[in-house]
Amino acid sequence: MIGDNKTPHEILGWRRIVEQALIGLNLTTGTNQYNMAKQFMQGSALSSFKSVAMVLLTGHKADAIVHGETQLANHPAHKAAGHDHVVFANLQAAVTAVTNHNILEHLGEAYGAQLVTDLLNEVVKNLLPNKALQSVKQHLRREARKPMDMSAIQDIMHIYRINTKEILRCPPAFNTTLVLPRVGSEKWIVKELIPWQRLLLSQ
């Protein structure tokens, strides 16, 4: 994916391919997924991926530092009741370690894989035209018509794929809450494909 002059269909198809590749290669850690995902990009897509990664990872590093410093500050002071010099030393070491970490090392944390998913979603969000999701939904609801050279069954499968495989990879939610619940159902077929109902029944 270069990122320039790509249609929404191509962008969402690329997103699905990357997801399937990460699963097929059994890459479960954020670090491995991040390195592999970069192989599927170049140009503006890769630049977007890297820049968003720096922003998100910097935020995670800052959160980790604040968390460590808070734990350190909440530990009883030296000579106070409950003070444990071993625990205190460990907390100091933890703060120092997280402060000195390269931000890419945070991809190895438990949240690393989800972070890569968020990065890929941000790339899709940056590449898709404005209001792409609204346009697709409006088309499916109001304007979708079967091409003359396509069978009714093929048309239904095509629309069903758009609704179940592509729309759920669109911003802002990137999940099944975006899917049109009736599209592809028997009720939808009868109501929306009335002009081709006879053709549908004959195939």
Identify whether residues 102 and 18 lie together within a single domain.
Answer: yes
Please indicate, yes or no, if residue 1 is contained in any of the structural domains: no
Burial tier of 180 (Cβ tally within 10 Å: 0-12, 13-18, 19+): middle
| Tens digit of each residue's pLDDT (9 = 90 or more) over 157-178 | 777 777 677 776 777 667 666 6
Where residue 137 falls among pLDDT bands split at 50, 70, 90? low
Question: Which pLDDT does position 149 carry in this prediction?
Answer: 79
User: Considering 95, 127, 159, which residue would you say is the last residue of a domain?
Assistant: 127
Provide the number of structural domains found in the chain: 2
The model's pTM: 0.65
Identify whether residues 138 and 87 lie together within a single domain.
Answer: no
Structure tokens at 28: 């479960």
Identify whether residues 17 and 94 lie together within a single domain.
Answer: yes
Identify whether residues 190 and 96 lie together within a single domain.
Answer: no
Distance CA(120)–CA(128), nearest Å, equals 12
Burial tier of 23 (Cβ tally within 10 Å: 0-12, 13-18, 19+): exposed
Please indicate, yes or no, if residue 65 is contained in any of the structural domains: yes
Distance CA(201)–CA(26), nearest Å, equals 43
User: Between 39 and 86, whose confidence is greater?
Assistant: 39
Please indicate, yes or no, if residue 121 is contained in any of the structural domains: yes
Question: Which pLDDT does position 196 carry in this prediction?
Answer: 43
